Amino acid sequence: MPDPFERGRASCGVGFVAQLSGVPSHECVRRGVECLVNMDHRGAEGADEKTGDGAGIMLQLPDRLLRTVWDDLPALGSYGVAMCFLPADPVRRGALEGVVEEACAGRGLRSLGWRDVPVEPACLGHVARDCMPVIRRLAVAADRFDGDAEALEVARIASATGRLGAGLPAGRPFRAPHHTISAAGLIGGGTPPRPGEVTLAHRGVLFLDELCEFRRDVLEALRAPLESGEVAIARAGGRRRLPCRFMLIAASNPCPCGRGEDDPDCTCPGASVQRYQGKLSGALADRIDLLAAVAQPAAAAIGGAPGESSAAVRDRVCAARERQEARLGPGRCNAEMTPTEARECEVDPAAAALLADLYARRRLSGRAHDRALRLARTVADLEGAARIGEAQMAQAVQLRRRDRV
Ligand SMILES: [Zn+2]
Protein backbone atom coordinates (compact mmCIF):
# COMPACT_ATOMS: atom_id res chain seq x y z
CA MET A 1 0.00 0.00 0.00
CA PRO A 2 1.42 3.42 -0.90
CA ASP A 3 2.31 5.78 1.95
CA PRO A 4 -0.65 8.18 2.47
CA PHE A 5 1.76 11.07 2.75
CA GLU A 6 3.34 10.10 -0.61
CA ARG A 7 -0.11 10.08 -2.16
CA GLY A 8 -0.97 13.40 -0.52
CA ARG A 9 1.97 14.96 -2.35
CA ALA A 10 0.45 14.07 -5.71
CA SER A 11 -2.95 15.72 -5.40
CA CYS A 12 -4.62 18.76 -3.91
CA GLY A 13 -7.29 17.70 -1.47
CA VAL A 14 -8.05 16.92 2.13
CA GLY A 15 -5.86 15.20 4.68
CA PHE A 16 -7.18 13.85 7.96
CA VAL A 17 -5.10 13.05 11.03
CA ALA A 18 -6.74 11.58 14.13
CA GLN A 19 -5.53 10.19 17.44
CA LEU A 20 -7.51 6.93 17.74
CA SER A 21 -6.53 6.41 21.40
CA GLY A 22 -8.66 9.45 22.32
CA VAL A 23 -5.70 10.99 24.20
CA PRO A 24 -5.14 14.60 23.05
CA SER A 25 -1.66 15.15 21.65
CA HIS A 26 0.28 17.84 19.80
CA GLU A 27 1.49 15.08 17.48
CA CYS A 28 -1.79 15.52 15.52
CA VAL A 29 -0.89 19.14 14.74
CA ARG A 30 2.66 18.21 13.71
CA ARG A 31 1.36 15.49 11.34
CA GLY A 32 -1.29 17.92 10.03
CA VAL A 33 1.39 20.48 9.10
CA GLU A 34 3.40 17.70 7.44
CA CYS A 35 0.29 16.73 5.47
CA LEU A 36 -0.32 20.34 4.39
CA VAL A 37 3.28 20.99 3.33
CA ASN A 38 3.33 17.85 1.19
CA MET A 39 0.23 18.82 -0.77
CA ASP A 40 0.37 20.45 -4.19
CA HIS A 41 -1.98 23.45 -3.97
CA ARG A 42 -3.46 23.89 -7.41
CA GLY A 43 -6.16 26.19 -6.01
CA ALA A 44 -3.43 28.81 -5.45
CA GLU A 45 -2.96 29.63 -9.14
CA GLY A 46 -4.12 33.12 -10.04
CA ALA A 47 -4.42 34.30 -6.41
CA ASP A 48 -2.52 37.38 -5.28
CA GLU A 49 0.78 36.53 -3.68
CA LYS A 50 -0.03 37.56 -0.10
CA THR A 51 -3.46 35.99 0.01
CA GLY A 52 -2.07 32.50 -0.39
CA ASP A 53 -4.04 29.53 -1.56
CA GLY A 54 -6.65 29.21 1.16
CA ALA A 55 -5.14 25.97 2.43
CA GLY A 56 -4.91 25.54 6.17
CA ILE A 57 -5.45 23.33 9.16
CA MET A 58 -8.62 22.91 11.13
CA LEU A 59 -8.02 21.41 14.55
CA GLN A 60 -9.79 20.68 17.79
CA LEU A 61 -9.31 23.46 20.35
CA PRO A 62 -8.22 22.45 23.84
CA ASP A 63 -10.83 22.76 26.61
CA ARG A 64 -8.28 24.71 28.69
CA LEU A 65 -7.87 27.38 26.01
CA LEU A 66 -11.65 27.83 25.60
CA ARG A 67 -12.00 28.29 29.36
CA THR A 68 -9.75 31.36 29.17
CA VAL A 69 -12.48 33.14 27.13
CA TRP A 70 -15.67 31.56 28.56
CA ASP A 71 -15.71 31.38 32.35
CA ASP A 72 -19.08 29.55 32.51
CA LEU A 73 -18.35 26.47 30.37
CA PRO A 74 -19.92 23.26 31.70
CA ALA A 75 -17.86 20.07 32.12
CA LEU A 76 -15.68 18.86 29.23
CA GLY A 77 -17.83 16.69 26.97
CA SER A 78 -21.12 18.49 27.67
CA TYR A 79 -20.65 21.59 25.52
CA GLY A 80 -19.85 22.38 21.90
CA VAL A 81 -18.18 25.31 20.14
CA ALA A 82 -19.00 26.43 16.59
CA MET A 83 -16.91 28.73 14.41
CA CYS A 84 -19.10 30.96 12.21
CA PHE A 85 -18.21 33.17 9.23
CA LEU A 86 -20.59 36.15 9.55
CA PRO A 87 -21.29 39.26 7.44
CA ALA A 88 -19.32 42.43 8.23
CA ASP A 89 -22.56 44.47 8.42
CA PRO A 90 -23.48 44.52 12.14
CA VAL A 91 -27.27 44.52 11.53
CA ARG A 92 -27.17 41.49 9.24
CA ARG A 93 -24.67 39.83 11.56
CA GLY A 94 -26.91 40.30 14.61
CA ALA A 95 -29.90 38.86 12.73
CA LEU A 96 -27.88 35.82 11.60
CA GLU A 97 -26.58 35.19 15.12
CA GLY A 98 -30.21 35.17 16.25
CA VAL A 99 -31.08 32.57 13.59
CA VAL A 100 -28.19 30.33 14.69
CA GLU A 101 -29.16 30.62 18.37
CA GLU A 102 -32.79 29.83 17.55
CA ALA A 103 -31.76 26.73 15.57
CA CYS A 104 -29.64 25.61 18.55
CA ALA A 105 -32.54 26.16 20.98
CA GLY A 106 -34.70 23.97 18.71
CA ARG A 107 -32.24 21.15 19.33
CA GLY A 108 -32.26 21.66 23.10
CA LEU A 109 -28.98 23.62 23.13
CA ARG A 110 -28.51 26.71 25.29
CA SER A 111 -26.30 29.53 23.99
CA LEU A 112 -23.34 30.43 26.21
CA GLY A 113 -22.56 33.48 24.11
CA TRP A 114 -20.40 34.64 21.20
CA ARG A 115 -16.70 35.51 21.22
CA ASP A 116 -14.62 37.11 18.48
CA VAL A 117 -11.90 34.89 16.99
CA PRO A 118 -8.56 36.77 16.96
CA VAL A 119 -7.42 37.34 13.36
CA GLU A 120 -4.36 38.89 11.72
CA PRO A 121 -5.63 40.50 8.44
CA ALA A 122 -2.35 42.36 7.85
CA CYS A 123 -0.77 39.15 6.59
CA LEU A 124 -3.40 38.80 3.84
CA GLY A 125 -3.53 40.22 0.32
CA HIS A 126 -6.36 42.52 -0.85
CA VAL A 127 -8.35 39.67 -2.50
CA ALA A 128 -8.81 37.92 0.83
CA ARG A 129 -9.13 41.12 2.88
CA ASP A 130 -11.85 42.55 0.62
CA CYS A 131 -14.21 39.64 1.22
CA MET A 132 -13.12 38.70 4.73
CA PRO A 133 -16.02 37.74 6.99
CA VAL A 134 -16.28 38.52 10.69
CA ILE A 135 -15.24 35.28 12.40
CA ARG A 136 -16.92 34.51 15.71
CA ARG A 137 -17.34 31.47 17.94
CA LEU A 138 -20.54 30.33 19.63
CA ALA A 139 -20.49 27.97 22.62
CA VAL A 140 -23.57 25.87 23.37
CA ALA A 141 -24.56 23.48 26.17
CA ALA A 142 -27.28 20.85 26.30
CA ASP A 143 -30.11 22.23 28.42
CA ARG A 144 -32.71 19.57 29.21
CA PHE A 145 -33.56 17.26 32.13
CA ASP A 146 -31.62 17.31 35.41
CA GLY A 147 -28.16 17.66 33.95
CA ASP A 148 -26.42 18.11 30.64
CA ALA A 149 -24.92 14.63 30.79
CA GLU A 150 -28.34 12.94 31.08
CA ALA A 151 -29.75 14.82 28.07
CA LEU A 152 -26.72 13.91 26.00
CA GLU A 153 -27.03 10.21 26.93
CA VAL A 154 -30.68 10.20 25.79
CA ALA A 155 -29.81 12.09 22.59
CA ARG A 156 -26.96 9.66 21.87
CA ILE A 157 -29.34 6.67 22.09
CA ALA A 158 -31.98 8.45 19.98
CA SER A 159 -29.32 9.27 17.39
CA ALA A 160 -27.90 5.71 17.33
CA THR A 161 -31.38 4.29 16.73
CA GLY A 162 -32.28 6.86 14.05
CA ARG A 163 -34.95 8.56 16.18
CA LEU A 164 -33.30 11.92 16.82
CA GLY A 165 -35.53 13.67 14.24
CA ALA A 166 -35.35 17.44 13.96
CA GLY A 167 -34.16 18.07 17.50
CA LEU A 168 -33.24 16.66 20.85
CA PRO A 169 -35.98 14.69 22.58
CA ALA A 170 -38.24 17.25 24.30
CA GLY A 171 -38.13 15.43 27.64
CA ARG A 172 -37.44 12.11 29.26
CA PRO A 173 -38.38 9.11 27.12
CA PHE A 174 -41.66 7.31 27.83
CA ARG A 175 -42.01 3.81 26.40
CA ALA A 176 -45.14 1.65 26.69
CA PRO A 177 -44.62 -1.60 24.72
CA HIS A 178 -47.58 -3.94 24.08
CA HIS A 179 -47.83 -7.11 26.19
CA THR A 180 -47.16 -9.31 23.13
CA ILE A 181 -43.55 -8.03 22.92
CA SER A 182 -40.71 -10.59 22.72
CA ALA A 183 -37.76 -10.77 25.12
CA ALA A 184 -35.48 -9.47 22.33
CA GLY A 185 -37.86 -6.54 21.72
CA LEU A 186 -37.89 -5.64 25.42
CA ILE A 187 -34.25 -6.25 26.35
CA GLY A 188 -32.55 -5.91 22.96
CA GLY A 189 -30.90 -8.36 20.58
CA GLY A 190 -32.28 -10.29 17.61
CA THR A 191 -30.97 -10.37 14.03
CA PRO A 192 -29.77 -7.82 13.20
CA PRO A 193 -29.19 -6.79 16.84
CA ARG A 194 -31.26 -3.81 17.99
CA PRO A 195 -31.56 -1.97 21.30
CA GLY A 196 -34.62 -3.01 23.29
CA GLU A 197 -37.37 -0.95 24.94
CA VAL A 198 -35.32 -0.87 28.18
CA THR A 199 -32.56 1.06 26.39
CA LEU A 200 -35.00 3.32 24.52
CA ALA A 201 -36.48 4.13 27.98
CA HIS A 202 -33.03 5.02 29.41
CA ARG A 203 -33.34 7.96 31.88
CA GLY A 204 -37.10 7.86 31.40
CA VAL A 205 -40.12 5.64 32.07
CA LEU A 206 -40.86 2.08 30.89
CA PHE A 207 -44.58 1.50 31.38
CA LEU A 208 -45.88 -2.08 31.23
CA ASP A 209 -49.67 -2.01 31.20
CA GLU A 210 -51.46 -5.33 31.88
CA LEU A 211 -48.24 -6.70 33.42
CA CYS A 212 -49.71 -10.17 34.00
CA GLU A 213 -50.55 -10.49 30.28
CA PHE A 214 -46.83 -10.35 29.35
CA ARG A 215 -45.04 -13.67 28.83
CA ARG A 216 -43.33 -14.80 31.98
CA ASP A 217 -39.94 -15.35 30.32
CA VAL A 218 -40.13 -11.79 28.94
CA LEU A 219 -40.78 -10.37 32.43
CA GLU A 220 -38.02 -12.48 33.98
CA ALA A 221 -35.57 -11.07 31.40
CA LEU A 222 -36.09 -7.67 33.11
CA ARG A 223 -34.43 -8.81 36.33
CA ALA A 224 -30.76 -8.34 35.39
CA PRO A 225 -31.19 -4.98 33.58
CA LEU A 226 -33.24 -3.61 36.50
CA GLU A 227 -30.40 -4.49 38.82
CA SER A 228 -27.38 -3.44 36.74
CA GLY A 229 -28.76 -0.58 34.62
CA GLU A 230 -27.24 -2.03 31.46
CA VAL A 231 -27.75 -4.86 28.97
CA ALA A 232 -25.27 -6.81 26.86
CA ILE A 233 -26.33 -7.49 23.28
CA ALA A 234 -24.56 -10.18 21.25
CA ARG A 235 -23.45 -8.99 17.84
CA ALA A 236 -20.91 -9.90 15.21
CA GLY A 237 -17.47 -9.26 16.67
CA GLY A 238 -18.46 -9.47 20.32
CA ARG A 239 -20.96 -8.14 22.85
CA ARG A 240 -22.05 -4.55 23.13
CA ARG A 241 -23.18 -3.05 26.45
CA LEU A 242 -26.07 -0.59 26.31
CA PRO A 243 -27.32 1.61 29.16
CA CYS A 244 -30.85 1.09 30.51
CA ARG A 245 -31.47 3.10 33.69
CA PHE A 246 -35.21 3.50 33.54
CA MET A 247 -38.09 3.82 35.99
CA LEU A 248 -40.34 0.77 35.68
CA ILE A 249 -44.05 1.44 36.16
CA ALA A 250 -46.45 -1.47 35.75
CA ALA A 251 -50.21 -1.93 36.17
CA SER A 252 -52.19 -5.12 36.36
CA ASN A 253 -55.68 -6.39 36.99
CA PRO A 254 -56.12 -8.73 39.99
CA CYS A 255 -57.45 -11.55 37.76
CA PRO A 256 -58.02 -12.27 34.04
CA CYS A 257 -61.58 -10.83 34.06
CA GLY A 258 -60.41 -7.71 35.84
CA ARG A 259 -63.06 -7.68 38.61
CA GLY A 260 -61.03 -9.39 41.31
CA GLU A 261 -61.82 -12.52 43.31
CA ASP A 262 -63.80 -10.60 45.93
CA ASP A 263 -66.31 -9.41 43.31
CA PRO A 264 -69.30 -11.77 43.08
CA ASP A 265 -69.34 -11.34 39.29
CA CYS A 266 -65.76 -12.72 38.95
CA THR A 267 -65.95 -16.22 37.49
CA CYS A 268 -62.20 -16.78 37.12
CA PRO A 269 -61.18 -20.25 38.38
CA GLY A 270 -58.75 -20.14 41.32
CA ALA A 271 -56.00 -21.85 39.31
CA SER A 272 -56.20 -19.25 36.55
CA VAL A 273 -56.03 -16.38 39.07
CA GLN A 274 -52.93 -17.97 40.59
CA ARG A 275 -51.32 -18.47 37.20
CA TYR A 276 -52.16 -14.85 36.32
CA GLN A 277 -50.71 -13.34 39.48
CA GLY A 278 -47.76 -15.74 39.29
CA LYS A 279 -46.50 -13.92 36.18
CA LEU A 280 -44.96 -11.42 38.61
CA SER A 281 -42.42 -13.72 40.27
CA GLY A 282 -41.16 -13.10 43.78
CA ALA A 283 -37.70 -12.38 42.37
CA LEU A 284 -39.02 -9.67 40.03
CA ALA A 285 -41.35 -8.21 42.70
CA ASP A 286 -38.29 -8.03 44.97
CA ARG A 287 -36.74 -5.59 42.48
CA ILE A 288 -39.77 -3.26 42.43
CA ASP A 289 -39.72 -0.52 45.08
CA LEU A 290 -43.44 0.17 45.49
CA LEU A 291 -46.35 -2.25 45.29
CA ALA A 292 -49.79 -0.73 45.83
CA ALA A 293 -53.30 -2.16 45.54
CA VAL A 294 -55.83 0.25 44.06
CA ALA A 295 -59.41 -0.51 45.06
CA GLN A 296 -62.32 0.61 42.91
CA PRO A 297 -63.22 4.07 44.25
CA ALA A 298 -66.64 4.54 45.84
CA ALA A 299 -69.18 6.59 43.85
CA ALA A 300 -68.97 9.40 46.44
CA ALA A 301 -65.19 9.64 46.04
CA ILE A 302 -65.45 10.00 42.24
CA GLY A 303 -67.88 12.92 42.49
CA GLY A 304 -66.25 14.35 45.65
CA ALA A 305 -63.85 17.23 46.22
CA PRO A 306 -60.74 17.21 44.02
CA GLY A 307 -57.57 15.90 45.68
CA GLU A 308 -54.22 17.66 45.91
CA SER A 309 -53.21 19.20 42.57
CA SER A 310 -50.53 17.54 40.44
CA ALA A 311 -48.58 20.82 40.49
CA ALA A 312 -48.34 20.71 44.30
CA VAL A 313 -47.23 17.07 44.23
CA ARG A 314 -44.66 17.92 41.54
CA ASP A 315 -43.15 20.67 43.71
CA ARG A 316 -42.81 18.23 46.61
CA VAL A 317 -41.19 15.58 44.37
CA CYS A 318 -38.77 18.13 42.86
CA ALA A 319 -37.75 19.32 46.34
CA ALA A 320 -37.14 15.68 47.39
CA ARG A 321 -35.05 15.05 44.26
CA GLU A 322 -32.96 18.14 45.02
CA ARG A 323 -32.26 16.84 48.55
CA GLN A 324 -31.17 13.50 47.05
CA GLU A 325 -28.86 15.14 44.53
CA ALA A 326 -27.34 17.32 47.26
CA ARG A 327 -26.56 14.14 49.22
CA LEU A 328 -25.61 11.73 46.41
CA GLY A 329 -24.32 13.92 43.57
CA PRO A 330 -25.78 15.35 40.36
CA GLY A 331 -28.38 13.22 38.56
CA ARG A 332 -28.50 10.55 41.28
CA CYS A 333 -31.52 9.52 43.34
CA ASN A 334 -32.17 7.21 46.30
CA ALA A 335 -33.10 4.24 44.07
CA GLU A 336 -29.51 4.29 42.75
CA MET A 337 -27.90 4.17 46.20
CA THR A 338 -25.39 1.34 46.57
CA PRO A 339 -26.05 -1.11 49.45
CA THR A 340 -23.25 0.64 51.38
CA GLU A 341 -24.82 4.09 50.83
CA ALA A 342 -28.26 2.75 51.85
CA ARG A 343 -26.86 1.30 55.08
CA GLU A 344 -25.08 4.58 55.86
CA CYS A 345 -28.41 6.52 55.97
CA GLU A 346 -29.10 8.05 59.36
CA VAL A 347 -31.85 5.99 61.01
CA ASP A 348 -33.59 6.56 64.37
CA PRO A 349 -33.09 3.61 66.77
CA ALA A 350 -36.85 2.83 66.76
CA ALA A 351 -36.89 2.75 62.94
CA ALA A 352 -33.81 0.53 62.87
CA ALA A 353 -35.44 -1.84 65.37
CA LEU A 354 -38.61 -2.02 63.25
CA LEU A 355 -36.62 -2.96 60.14
CA ALA A 356 -34.47 -5.50 62.04
CA ASP A 357 -37.63 -7.12 63.45
CA LEU A 358 -39.26 -7.40 60.01
CA TYR A 359 -36.04 -8.70 58.48
CA ALA A 360 -36.05 -11.55 60.99
CA ARG A 361 -39.81 -12.26 61.14
CA ARG A 362 -40.65 -11.94 57.43
CA ARG A 363 -37.28 -13.29 56.38
CA LEU A 364 -36.66 -10.42 54.01
CA SER A 365 -33.88 -10.88 51.46
CA GLY A 366 -30.83 -8.62 51.78
CA ARG A 367 -32.07 -6.87 48.64
CA ALA A 368 -35.54 -6.29 50.14
CA HIS A 369 -33.93 -4.96 53.33
CA ASP A 370 -31.89 -2.39 51.38
CA ARG A 371 -34.87 -1.43 49.22
CA ALA A 372 -36.92 -0.74 52.35
CA LEU A 373 -34.10 1.53 53.58
CA ARG A 374 -33.92 3.44 50.27
CA LEU A 375 -37.67 3.83 50.21
CA ALA A 376 -37.77 5.06 53.82
CA ARG A 377 -35.08 7.60 52.88
CA THR A 378 -37.35 8.81 50.04
CA VAL A 379 -40.35 9.10 52.37
CA ALA A 380 -38.14 11.16 54.71
CA ASP A 381 -36.97 13.34 51.77
CA LEU A 382 -40.58 14.02 50.78
CA GLU A 383 -41.19 15.23 54.33
CA GLY A 384 -37.91 17.18 54.47
CA ALA A 385 -36.61 15.06 57.37
CA ALA A 386 -32.84 14.67 57.89
CA ARG A 387 -33.14 11.25 59.58
CA ILE A 388 -35.36 8.24 58.90
CA GLY A 389 -37.93 8.03 61.70
CA GLU A 390 -40.09 5.10 62.82
CA ALA A 391 -43.24 6.35 61.01
CA GLN A 392 -41.31 6.75 57.76
CA MET A 393 -39.84 3.26 58.06
CA ALA A 394 -43.31 1.81 58.77
CA GLN A 395 -44.74 3.54 55.71
CA ALA A 396 -41.88 2.29 53.51
CA VAL A 397 -42.47 -1.29 54.67
CA GLN A 398 -46.22 -1.00 54.01
CA LEU A 399 -45.51 0.28 50.48
CA ARG A 400 -43.51 -2.85 49.72
CA ARG A 401 -45.99 -5.50 50.88
CA ARG A 402 -46.82 -7.88 48.08
CA ASP A 403 -49.75 -9.42 49.97
CA ARG A 404 -51.59 -6.12 49.73
CA VAL A 405 -51.63 -6.36 45.94
ZN1 LIG B 1 -61.92 -12.51 37.60
Lowest-confidence segment of 194-208, 356-370, 382-396 by average pLDDT: 356-370
Give domain status of residue 200, yes or no.
Answer: yes
**Percent of the chain surpassing pLDDT 90:** 28
Pair 43, 127 in one domain: no
Whole-number Å distance, alpha carbon 270 to ligand 1 midpoint, is 9
Quick one: average pLDDT of 352-378? Answer: 88
Give domain status of residue 73, yes or no.
Answer: yes
Would you state the pLDDT for residue 162?
Answer: 67
Instruction: Pick the more confident residue, 238 or 373.
Output: 373
Whole-number Å distance, alpha carbon 41 to ligand 1 midpoint, is 81
Pair 187, 279 in one domain: yes
* pLDDT for residue 188 is more than 70: yes
Give domain status of residue 160, yes or no.
Answer: no
Give domain status of residue 169, yes or no.
Answer: no
Give domain status of residue 155, yes or no.
Answer: no
* pLDDT for residue 122 is more than 70: yes
Would you state the pLDDT for residue 247?
Answer: 92
* pLDDT for residue 138 is more than 90: yes
Give domain status of residue 277, yes or no.
Answer: yes
Pair 44, 138 in one domain: no
- Residue where a domain terminates, one of 143, 170, 190: 143
Pair 187, 135 in one domain: no
Q: How far is 261 from 269, CA to CA, in rounded Å? A: 9
Domain with residue 384: its CATH number is: 1.10.8
Q: How many domains does the chain have?
A: 4
Give domain status of residue 162, yes or no.
Answer: no
Would you state the pLDDT for residue 120?
Answer: 86
Pair 74, 56 in one domain: no
Pair 113, 97 in one domain: yes
Give me the domain span that covers residue 17. Answer: 1-60
DSSP code at position 336: G
Would you state the pLDDT for residue 203?
Answer: 86
Would you state the pLDDT for residue 69?
Answer: 87
Pair 328, 282 in one domain: no
Give domain status of residue 164, yes or no.
Answer: no
Q: Say whether pTM exceeds 0.75.
A: no
Pick from 342, 108, 302, 380: which is nearest to 396 by CA? Answer: 380
Residue 246's contacts (CB-CB under 8 Å, 6 or more residues apart) are 175, 198, 201, 202, 203, 204, 205, 206
Instruction: Pick the more confident residue, 61 or 146.
Output: 61
**Percent of the chain surpassing pLDDT 70:** 87
Whole-number Å distance, alpha carbon 385 to ligand 1 midpoint, is 42
Whole-number Å distance, alpha carbon 258 to ligand 1 midpoint, is 5
Would you state the pLDDT for residue 197?
Answer: 94
Whole-number Å distance, alpha carbon 296 to ligand 1 midpoint, is 14
Instruction: Pick the more confident residue, 146 or 131.
Output: 131
Whole-number Å distance, alpha carbon 85 to ligand 1 midpoint, is 69
- Residue where a domain terminates, one of 143, 171, 190: 143
